Structure 1
Amino acid sequence: MSWKLKEQLKNMLAEESGYYIYHAGGRTRVALLYPNSYFVGMSNLGLHIVYRLLNQRDDTACERGFLPEKRQQDEYVKHKVQLMTMETQSAVSSFDIVAFMMSFEMDYFNILRMLELGKIKLLATERGEMDPLVIAGGPCATFNPEPMSPFVDAFIIGEGEAVMPAFMDAYNRARGEGRSKEEILSILAKIPGVYVPSRYEVSYGLDGYDTQIKPVGDAPERICRQWQENLDEYPGETAIYTENTEFNLHLVEIARGCGRHCRFCMAGYCFRRPRNRSLEAIEKMLVAAKEKGRRVGLMGAAISDYPEIDQLCREILGDGLSMSVASFRADSVTQELVDSLAASGLKTLTMAPEAGSTRMRAVINKGIEEEHLLNAMSMGIKAGIRNFRLYIMIGLPGEEPSDIQGIIDMALKLKDFMEEKGATGRLTLSINPFIPKPFTPFQWSPMAPIKYIQGALKEITNALRKRHNIEVIAESPRDAYVQAVLARGNRKTGQYLLEAYENGGSKAMKSVLKSHKLSMEDLVSHPVSFDNILPWDILDMGFTKDYLKKELIESQQEKPKHTLQCFDGCKRCGVCK
């Protein structure tokens, strides 16, 4: 049956262009694994960037692997076939390095599944000299690697362009010298931006959460996040083309990081400072889109914050291309950007006020006011767009019943405005529970009780149900709780993760915790003391805890103080030395 699974991969590869295949030989073989489906993974720009970065080296051969669909997984298990890569249909276990992209907490279960399908022992301590080195990078690896540390040999803390060249140089040199895996890990641990969990001892406080992590031997006391200062030095665009993907676009990263200081946003803190690619560098990346006849997907934390966005829109449409955007801010969007999106076929304009009341948006430092939403909506209607979507969070720190009513009032007011302006389309509210994330001012804040979240969702849904063409969609509160447990977890959480995986996955997390006399609410629904040593304190993002504490305290004032966005010469948080 392995031939059938190989044929499926070969057929998928035959529909691609842009991939690399190297003959077996002197190159270090890296299996770059995305812990979700091919359809989802091929829309992840980070995968394309790392894939190209590694394959453009003369000593590395990187191939991709994805989580097979459920039916295919059953075939792998039934016929005892190992998980294989796309390019050469080779067993993942035959590679020197297995590298996972860690973008979402719920994919942790998929990482364990892929290791199991690849016949690679789940626990790092059980793998030997002949087993691949298992590494992981991406947002979740950078923010808090501890829950996955029992399974991963080394984490990349920060951006791949800033870490992987030195990582591969050191690995290849050590391997060429005939070093053992333990020796190689000791060498890698000294590279800036590499965290090797086995080189650190962990102890816990009486509450079980205090997590003290101390280096063993000459491993560094803290691991400093690495970031690529000049984005123009590396391309940030689609490397491989396929029709079988969620975003069938030529993806182009125009900026990285965000300086808006939203107090709930991990990316806004851990990808500081905000950096823009030059217009000239972006224009070079548009060439491939024109050659392939692809729609351009502009990627960045807030596309409308790009200083030359109008000029870029003119360039794209002037080349006969169409475009899409990852996100924009209602307070910086321009009519030209909206017109360009409408001309490209956009049917729904998305805005992210995150909260309904002015007070709550001040607490989270969002900086978006009702007038910005109405102005952006007016631009969209003028451009011919008839549908709008709002991203909303509930259960935010300090939220009161009036703030839930504020969401309802805002939705009704915006719907009234749409109808007054002749836009008869749908207004969609996409609602997610707030999850306290590491390295944000709200990292000490509790997650709202699950009954509160369920009640707030019910109140909003019931209030808006009778209004024609208003839709409410929401993330499962129970899934959000699992995410929170994993996001804020320590190494003990890795044990709970493994037990839940062995008992069916994320749905088993509640019963697993109960067997340890814990609950998800025990772990995430209580405030964390400033005195606690947090599981991620071993990492250095460039700013201090005191800075985050100051932001949290300012959010709790009767009139929350607004923190201005990043600006040239700013030294407030410490990232820009």
Structure 2
Amino acid sequence: MDPRVWIEKQRRLLACEENPVVKPWGGKIPMGLVFPNTYSVGMANLGFQLVYSMLNREQDVVCERIFWDPSEGFQPFSLETQQPLGHFEILAFSIPFENDYPRVPQMLGMAGIPLDSQKRLPPHPMVWVGGVTASLNPEPIAPFVDLFAIGEAEALLPELLQKYRFCKQQRASKKQCLEEMSSIPGVYVPSLYRVTYDKRGLIKSFRPVGAAPEKVKRRVASNLELEVPRSFVLGPSSEFESMVLVEIGRGCPRRCFFCAAGHLFHPVRHRSLDSLRRTIKEALKLREKIGLVSSSVCDHPELEGICKEVFSQGGKISVSSLRLDRLEDQLLESLVQSGHKTLSLAPEAGSQRLRDVIGKGIREDQILEAVNKILSAGIARLRLYFMVGLPTETRQDVEQTVELVKKLLHLGRKLTRGKGLERITLSVNPFVPKPWTPFQWHAFEDTSELKSRIQLIQRRLRPERRVQVLHEPPKWARIQSLLARGDRRIAMVLSLVAGGETWEKALKEVNLNPDFYLHRPRGPEELFPWDFIDQGYSKELLWGIYQKALARGSQN
């Protein structure tokens, strides 16, 4: 695409947005807020929206958004004033997904910005990274990044800006500035740490240089009542353009053993109805429907009151997924009144044995009862989330996924006098072991076996015309698993992939065996690339949970 055509396309998109912030640059700190995925995905991310709003509230900061566009064959430009990446003082990447890691070196390279952080000096911009992945395992992209913000934006961003202003006033060098910033709790500066490896390729040591802290403590917002993240900017092509997303809480009390969100966003915090009233009122001026966002919407103690507040102002509600054992009649009635035709549930596994192993905490009778309630409320379409490749999983467990779906179909016919469920959509995805969960030690399943298990489900459910089976390709889950638990050496692979090499060829070129990261067993004594982060709970605790889960699987 001709850059001039693309820039004009950006201007038209900006003109269609509601509430974008376009500020003059004079005398301000220009920051490019980069989301290394498409516009539609980025604008549906509340963390990205929150940081955009917080930065542009600062009088001496101008923040513009930058997205990855697969149709581009040239360097990216900002959306607001179509500036190239190199014109910003700071590029702040927001990265919620590991599979977006390759786009960091790709976007920097396309802009002519050096990839190696230590070779990147002014006038090249500093590169900051935040988002979920920064708090899980930032190491695969560490060589490209000047600093990572480990934790929540509300706690970190004001201090980062204050320290950056101080460094500018003092005319500090980049090295001096990064050393200053490393003193902020929650800030990780990769260049201030040295990593060594033993003959087996395992990390031997991970040590700070100078005054950098040995452990980087993840920062947590002390009071969520002060700031309510929502869709501040509404665009015509975002995933949820028909509603305003509002975060009603953060964290999940369940802490299923496979789930990074449940372990990362602790402690569990629910925003009070009083703090949400103003946001609900503002949101309903923009859209008729509010999307309630939380890792555990159904666990909110004032959920019924929130729904009533939205309805009292003439609005409707939407939720992404529901907890099976917390489906209240009032919530279902609210969703029906809001026009919901499909509800999403996450059994994760078909057998009770496997649900117990992964700490899901639900029984089959609860699943059947939940579907009973949903059908009785008048909703006849379901989306069910399952995984394959879970720890201790067998073919019999996969068969029981099929049997569970058939039981739900039978229940639907029974409750509706033969009419049945209109549609069940199964989303079947490979299990990816994540850092900071009890399953961080577990091996990723072989891709051929994952394909076989997915095909088994597809084959057994093919006669059921009302069932659709969707799945993520195992080859992409394999890449995600590689990035989720990779170390700094993976950055060399990412550089080659960003330049157009295939993953397999890039791994061979840098002499890295993917099996080392994917399939080998790990012991409790192994030093992980992410162990320098202090999450507020111990590695020993996670190992104990992992061992109990494996023992539970073998007993059953």
- Give the TM-score band, short-chain normalised: over 0.9
Check whether the contact 1:300–1:327 (CA below 8 A) recurs between aligned residues.
no
Q: What is the aligned partner in structure 2 of residue 206 from structure 1?
A: 199
Is 1:18 equivalent to 2:19 in the alignment? yes
Offset from partner CA, 1:510-560 (integer Å, 9 cap, x none): 232234554433421122111111000111101011110111111122379
Q: Which residue of 80, 83, 107 corresponds with 2:100?
A: 107
Q: TM-score, normalised by structure 1?
A: 0.92
Check whether the contact 1:149–1:197 (CA below 8 A) recurs between aligned residues.
yes
Aligned pairs for 1:432-511 (under 5 A) are: 432-504=429-501, 508-511=502-505
Question: Take 1:118 and 1:339, find their aligned partners in 2: how far apart are those partners?
Answer: 51
Offset from partner CA, 1:304-358 (integer Å, 9 cap, x none): 1111111211221222111111322011121211221122121111100111111
In 2 relative to 1, CA 560–22 (structure 1 residues): closer, same or farther, beyond 3 Å?
Answer: farther
Q: Which residue of 404, 411, 416 corresponds with 1:417?
A: 411
Q: Which residue of 328, 333, 340 corresponds with 1:339?
A: 333
Q: What is the aligned partner in structure 1 of residue 124 from structure 2?
A: 131
Check whether the contact 2:443–2:519 (CA below 8 A) recurs between aligned residues.
yes
Question: Take 2:347 and 2:463, find their aligned partners in 1: how far apart are those partners?
Answer: 23
Q: What is the aligned partner in structure 2 of residue 62 from structure 1?
A: 63
Q: What is the aligned partner in structure 1 of residue 171 from structure 2?
A: 178
Query: Cα offset for 1:38?
Result: 1.0
Question: Take 1:254 and 1:136, find their aligned partners in 2: how far apart are those partners?
Answer: 25
In 2 relative to 1, CA 461–4 (structure 1 residues): closer, same or farther, beyond 3 Å?
Answer: closer
Check whether the contact 1:449–1:521 (CA below 8 A) recurs between aligned residues.
no
Query: Cα offset for 1:190?
Result: 1.1
Check whether the contact 1:15–1:242 (CA below 8 A) recurs between aligned residues.
yes
Q: Sequence identity, in percent? A: 36
Check whether the contact 1:279–1:312 (CA below 8 A) recurs between aligned residues.
yes
In 2 relative to 1, CA 357–254 (structure 1 residues): closer, same or farther, beyond 3 Å?
Answer: same
Give unpaired runs (5+ residues) of structure 1.
Answer: 562-577
Check whether the contact 1:229–1:275 (CA below 8 A) recurs between aligned residues.
no
The one-letter amino acid paired with 2:82 is Q
Question: Take 1:68 and 1:354, find their aligned partners in 2: how far apart are those partners?
Answer: 33
Query: Cα offset for 1:382?
Result: 1.7
In 2 relative to 1, CA 294–206 (structure 1 residues): closer, same or farther, beyond 3 Å?
Answer: farther
Aligned pairs for 1:93-492 (under 5 A) are: 93-210=86-203, 212-248=205-241, 249-422=243-416, 423-492=420-489
Question: Take 1:58 and 1:21, find their aligned partners in 2: how far apart are those partners?
Answer: 13
In 2 relative to 1, CA 209–415 (structure 1 residues): closer, same or farther, beyond 3 Å?
Answer: farther
Q: What is the aligned partner in structure 2 of residue 538 from structure 1?
A: 532
Offset from partner CA, 1:357-376 (integer Å, 9 cap, x none): 11111111111211222222
Structure 1 residue matching 2:489: 3-state secondary structure? helix
The one-letter amino acid paired with 2:413 is E
Offset from partner CA, 1:12-48 (integer Å, 9 cap, x none): 1111121222222222111101111112211111111
Out of 468-477 and 287-296, give the one that drifted further: 287-296
Question: Take 1:367 and 1:160, find their aligned partners in 2: how far apart are those partners?
Answer: 31
Q: What is the aligned partner in structure 2 of residue 42 from structure 1?
A: 43
Check whether the contact 1:84–1:118 (CA below 8 A) recurs between aligned residues.
no
Q: TM-score, normalised by structure 2?
A: 0.96
Question: Take 1:437 and 1:151, find their aligned partners in 2: how far apart are those partners?
Answer: 22
Question: Take 1:471 and 1:242, find their aligned partners in 2: how far apart are those partners?
Answer: 30
The one-letter amino acid paired with 2:443 is P
Q: Which residue of 532, 544, 549 corresponds with 1:555?
A: 549
Q: What is the aligned partner in structure 2 of residue 568 from structure 1?
A: none
Give unpaired runs (5+ residues) of structure 2.
Answer: none
The one-letter amino acid paired with 2:190 is P
Q: What is the aligned partner in structure 2 of residue 572 from structure 1?
A: none
Query: Cα offset for 1:271?
Result: 0.9
Question: Take 1:33 and 1:491, find their aligned partners in 2: how far apart are those partners?
Answer: 22
The one-letter amino acid paired with 1:348 is T
Aligned-residue Cα RMSD (Å) equals 1.6
Aligned pairs for 1:513-528 (under 5 A) are: 513-528=507-522
Question: Take 1:468 and 1:557, find their aligned partners in 2: how far apart are those partners?
Answer: 39
In 2 relative to 1, CA 420–211 (structure 1 residues): closer, same or farther, beyond 3 Å?
Answer: farther
The one-letter amino acid paired with 2:286 is K
Structure 2 residue matching 1:263: 3-state secondary structure? coil
Out of 54-63 and 426-435, give the one that drifted further: 54-63
In 2 relative to 1, CA 503–2 (structure 1 residues): closer, same or farther, beyond 3 Å?
Answer: closer
Question: Take 1:551 and 1:155, find their aligned partners in 2: how far apart are those partners?
Answer: 29
Query: Cα offset for 1:3?
Result: 4.2
Check whether the contact 2:56–2:62 (CA below 8 A) recurs between aligned residues.
yes
Out of 475-484 and 240-249, give the one that drifted further: 240-249
Q: What is the aligned partner in structure 2 of residue 92 from structure 1?
A: 85
Question: Take 1:3 and 1:474, find their aligned partners in 2: how far apart are those partners?
Answer: 38
Question: Take 2:112 and 2:42, find their aligned partners in 1: how far apart are those partners?
Answer: 22
The one-letter amino acid paired with 2:489 is K
Query: Cα offset for 1:10?
Result: 1.6
